[in-house]
């Protein structure tokens, strides 16, 4: 049996006629840029996310970029964020000439917390960008409290956390000043290409993002701001409208898979070598990420056995070559560096069968305890 890390064909097979009809609908109108599909998508996803304003954009990266642009962030400014995330979280800050100020993650949530952020606030801090890594929402209650005290906006990088909720049951993307989502095909809600979203309850901020999305002009050829082409394609909006109603069931299936893994890993007696993610309510398991001893060997072994896995992320952002000028060295953020050495994402997608999940646990057990115990 082989178990891929992700099988997008399995999802497509379950919704093929709806997807094809949606794409045909757009083709029949030849309206590819903004228009009714995008309007409808934005209305529908705003309801799902429980936010007033949703603005479809070209990618999760551009969602981050346009939010920072809407805050006029630029040279001389600092933005506090996580060193343990996808590159775009910090890349967008640097692209605007601002400085990404990293603070270490908490070892068990993989997210940044208020205590670390407090220590990094300066009079140049212009925003805080927490990441809801792997689909687990950061401790937004304390981060927001701190941000309010410091009078600094919070932009949630919710690219991996659509539909996730925090400890108080509040939906990712509704508690900060604005949030960024990605519909990269492998995300929990994936488009048929690149797409992203900005959400906010602040009408002025939302309006500015809408303008920046179309080169900063209300009327075509008249420009209030220097923006960009950050529009979501109508074709992507149509595909996402089909998938959106399925998302709650897909998230529930991911949670079921996570619970089953946790149970089976505990039974396998691997506690001394493998740590499963904590069981927190509201986690939507964009990834199910274990910490594993001899992680790289385990990954090679699983690959040889037909089990897909991935390391998100092997090198923390503060140690990336492109950020050498920030002057960081190994040891600056020990939790992020340990995570980079130890994490391994296992297959968790909704369509996995019980026997596939069993197979993954058996292969892991065989690696540590020998095939007899598998």
- By the rule CB under 6 A, 83 interacts with ligand PLP: no
Binder of ligand PLP out of 184, 261, 288, 368 (CB under 6 A): 184
Task: Number of residues interacting with ligand PLP: please give it, by CB under 6 A.
Answer: 15
Q: Which is nearer to ligand PLP, 111 or 165 (CB)?
A: 111
Task: Write out the DSSP string of 42-97.
Answer: HHHHHHHHT-SEEEEES-HHHHHHHHHHHTT--TT-EEEE-SSS-THHHHHHHHTT
Q: Which of residues 116-145 bind ligand PLP (CB under 6 A)?
A: 131
Cβ proximity to ligand PLP, 86 vs 368, nearer residue: 86
DSSP 214: B
User: How far apart, in whole angstroms, are the C-alpha atoms of residue 352 and residue 357?
Assistant: 7
Rounded least distance, CB 254 to ligand PLP, Å: 15
Nearer to ligand PLP, 131 or 346 (CB): 131
Radius of gyration of the chain (CA): 21
End-to-end CA separation in angstroms for the chain:
14
Question: Is the distance from CB of 266 to CB of 167 less than 8 angstroms?
Answer: no
Nearer to ligand PLP, 41 or 86 (CB): 86
Strand, coil or helix: what is 243? helix
104 versus 194: smaller Cβ distance to ligand PLP: 194
By CB under 6 A, tell whether 86 contacts ligand PLP: yes
160 binds ligand PLP (CB under 6 A): yes
- Cα 87 from Cα 139, distance rounded (Å): 21
d(C-alpha 374, C-alpha 368), whole Å: 9
> Does the footprint of ligand PLP cover residue 84 (CB under 6 A)?
no
Site stretch for ligand PLP (CB under 6 A), options 16-24, 157-165, 223-231, 291-299: 157-165
Among 11, 175, 177, 182, interactor with ligand PLP by CB under 6 A:
182
Cα torsion 83, 151, 283, 186 to 10°: value is -60
Pick from 53, 73, 79, 89 the residue near ligand PLP by CB under 6 A: 89
Instruction: Identify the residue among 49, 66, 88, 357 touching ligand PLP (CB under 6 A).
Output: 88
Among 59, 177, 309, 335, binds ligand PLP (CB under 6 A): 59
Judged by beta carbon, residue 3 or residue 131, the one nearer ligand PLP is 131
Interface characters, 190-229, with ligand PLP (x: CB under 6 A) = ----x-x---------------------------------
> Nearer to ligand PLP by C-beta: 105 or 359?
105
Long-range contacts at 36-44 (CB < 8 A, ≥ 24 apart): 37/234, 37/235, 37/237, 37/238, 37/241, 38/231, 38/232, 38/234, 38/237, 40/237, 40/241, 41/232, 41/237, 41/238, 41/240, 41/241, 41/244, 42/237, 44/241, 44/244
Question: Which residues form the interface with ligand PLP (CB under 6 A)?
Answer: 59-61, 85-86, 88-89, 131, 157, 159-160, 182, 184, 194, 196
């Amino acid at each position: 049996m082989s178990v891929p890390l992700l099988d997008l064909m399995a999802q497509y097979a379950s919704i093929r006629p709806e997807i094809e009809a949606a794409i045909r609908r757009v083709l029949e109108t030849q309206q590819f840029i903004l228009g009714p599909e995008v309007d409808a998508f934005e209305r529908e996803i705003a309801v799902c996310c429980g936010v007033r304003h949703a603005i479809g954009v070209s990618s999760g990266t551009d969602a981050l970029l346009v939010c920072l642009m809407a805050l006029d962030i630029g040279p001389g400014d600092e933005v506090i964020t996580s060193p343990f995330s996808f590159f775009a979280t910090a890349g967008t800050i640097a692209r605007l000439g601002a400085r990404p100020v990293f603070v270490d993650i908490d070892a068990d949530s993989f997210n940044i917390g208020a205590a670390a952020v407090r220590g990094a606030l300066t009079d140049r801090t212009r925003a805080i960008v927490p990441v809801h890594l792997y689909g687990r929402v950061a401790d937004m209650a304390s981060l927001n409290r701190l941000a309010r005290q410091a009078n600094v906006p919070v932009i949630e990088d919710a690219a991996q956390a659509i539909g996730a909720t925090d400890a108080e049951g509040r939906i990712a993307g509704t508690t900060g000043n604005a949030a960024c989502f990605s519909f990269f095909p492998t995300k929990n809600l994936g488009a048929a290409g690149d797409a992203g979203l900005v959400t906010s309850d602040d009408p002025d901020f939302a309006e500015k993002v809408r303008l920046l999305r179309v080169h900063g002009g209300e009327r075509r050829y008249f420009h209030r701001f220097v923006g960009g082409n950050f529009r979501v394609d109508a074709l992507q909006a149509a595909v996402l409208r089909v998938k959106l109603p399925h998302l709650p069931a897909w998230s529930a299936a991911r949670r079921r898979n996570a619970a089953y893994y946790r149970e089976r890993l505990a039974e396998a007696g691997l506690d001394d070598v493998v740590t499963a993610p904590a069981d927190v309510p509201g986690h939507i398991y964009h990834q199910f990420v274990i910490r594993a001893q001899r992680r790289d060997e385990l990954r090679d072994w699983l690959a040889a056995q037909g089990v897909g896995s991935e390391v998100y992320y092997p090198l923390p952002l503060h140690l990336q070559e492109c950020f050498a000028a920030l002057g960081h060295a190994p040891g600056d953020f020990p939790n992020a560096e340990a995570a980079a050495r130890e994490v391994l994402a296992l297959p968790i997608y909704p369509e996995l069968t019980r026997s596939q999940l069993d197979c993954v646990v058996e292969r892991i057990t065989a690696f540590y305890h020998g095939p007899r115990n598998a």
